[in-house]
Amino acid sequence: MPSNDGPSSADQQLIDHAARHSLTITAKQLEVWRRAGLLPGNIPGGGLGRGRGSTSTPPTESFDLVLALARRAGRGKRPTDLALLLFADGHPVPETTVRAAFRAAVDSVALPGEDDSLGDDLDLEDHVDHVASRLAEAGQTFVLVPARARRIDERIARILGELPEELAELDKNTEPTPMTPSDASLAAVTAVLGGTMSVQEIGDLLRGMNPGMTAHPFASLVETTQQDAPEAADLVTADDGSLSFLAEGDARDRLRGLADTASQEDLRAGWRTAQQVREWALDLCERVEAELDAGQPAEAVTMWLTGRGLPSGVSVLETLRERRWTPSGAALSTLLLLFQCQMYVVLDGLVPGCQWPVLEMPGVLAPPVRDLILTAVRPKTTPAQEIAD
């Protein structure tokens, strides 16, 4: 801590270093950052002798950190936000602080009623019912289609009309049950608390997220997997239709586990990808709207239509739901992307190689997500295999 006589010599070095970069920091700020885990303590040195105290020196990484903190810190900036932003920028924030910030992002995903006294013996079904009732009381529902996406859908529909008949015929579900916002809210609660969803629920959700489409070929593909590819489907679905490769239990626990165990390199790659997905999605919206304004639907509109019912379209909707993107939101997106990578590894172990050609098809995944997954987990061919091919 700074003494009444002023900053220690080590802190003065950091203060002077900031001043040389036209930045002003104080010994009090340094202490606040240290208490928050954003800045490591000074390294004790030898004594000065004759009761004059001891010396200390700043760790090498502190010099870069104080500059970054001075530039980023400000009124309303939480320590967890600073830790995440500096980490994403490549600054050497203490690892324990970074991981705690990622865990805090998961902890921020609170469901209504979870702070109630529920009792230790409450089972999953009763827990879901309790949270669902609290959602209904509060009138909270999941936004299936954000306003901007809905406006784009409506404008495209006015110009292009109905889905081509040959494409509509690919929807084999004669009695679809698209999710309503209330249905989606309950499904989301169940997925968070139970850790999984059924194949039918996924199909219903995809239909609910595309309310203007009279047919949903991709939703139909999901729903009919059991009939079209029963051997592969049996490996990944349980008897009740849920995805068996997803472990039961609170999904947030698995995200917290990733926050604790994922390498810092993977966390940075996931963060970078989450940021790129947002930029890609917003750019696509702007290009689609520009084509519609000009009355000339072209490449962007085609891309929108291609991906609207696919995972890439889901990425667009997720982006538009988060109008204000916070560091905590970015951290949560990062962990969800890394979780996807893990699940594709598991899937590839169950059904080797089955999903890679599909994931590489244009429009299936947002390009940054596709690149992250295929780079991180796609089986690599050996030189011998390449020669043989």
User: pLDDT (tens digit, 9 = 90+) per residue, 328-366?
Assistant: 999 999 999 999 888 888 777 777 766 677 788 888 899
CB atoms within 10 A of CB 340: 18
Please provide residue 57's backbone torsions phi and psi, each rounded to the nearest 5 degrees.
Answer: -135, 150
CA-CA distance, 27 to 229, in Å (whole number)?
Answer: 66
CB atoms within 10 A of CB 34: 17
CB of 374 closer than 8 Å to CB of 321? no
- The tally of CA atoms less than 13 A away on the side-chain side of residue 144 is 22
pLDDT of residue 129 exceeding 80: no
DSSP H or E run through 141: none
DSSP H or E run through 347: helix 327-350
pLDDT band at 8 (very low <50, low <70, confident <90, very high): confident
All residues at 6 or more sequence positions from 32 whose CB lies less than 8 Å from its CB, including other chains? none
pLDDT of residue 61 exceeding 80: yes
Residue with tokens 């910030």: 101
Question: Which range among 6-15, 54-63, 186-195 shows the weakest confidence by mean pLDDT?
Answer: 186-195
Look up residue 217 and give its two tokens.
Answer: 């070929």
All residues at 6 or more sequence positions from 79 whose CB lies less than 8 Å from its CB, including other chains? 36, 37, 38, 97, 101
Which carries the bigger pLDDT value, residue 124 or residue 196?
196
Longest CA pairwise span in the chain (Å): 93
CB of 377 closer than 8 Å to CB of 359? no
Look up residue 338 and give its two tokens.
Answer: 């890394």
CB of 305 closer than 8 Å to CB of 168? no
pLDDT of residue 381 exceeding 60: no
CB of 316 closer than 8 Å to CB of 285? yes
pLDDT band at 50 (very low <50, low <70, confident <90, very high): very low
Beta bridge partners of 47: 54
**What single-letter DSSP state applies at residue 121?**
T
Q: What is the dihedral of CA 337, 343, 349, 352, to 10 degrees?
A: -60
Mean pLDDT computed over every residue of the chain: 82
pLDDT band at 242 (very low <50, low <70, confident <90, very high): low
Residue with tokens 């967890």: 80
Look up residue 106 and give its two tokens.
Answer: 């998961």
Look up residue 300 and give its two tokens.
Answer: 């962007």
- Give how far Cα 224 sits from Cα of 46, 116, 170, 343, 378, Å: 73, 40, 11, 21, 26
Look up residue 350 and give its two tokens.
Answer: 């169950």
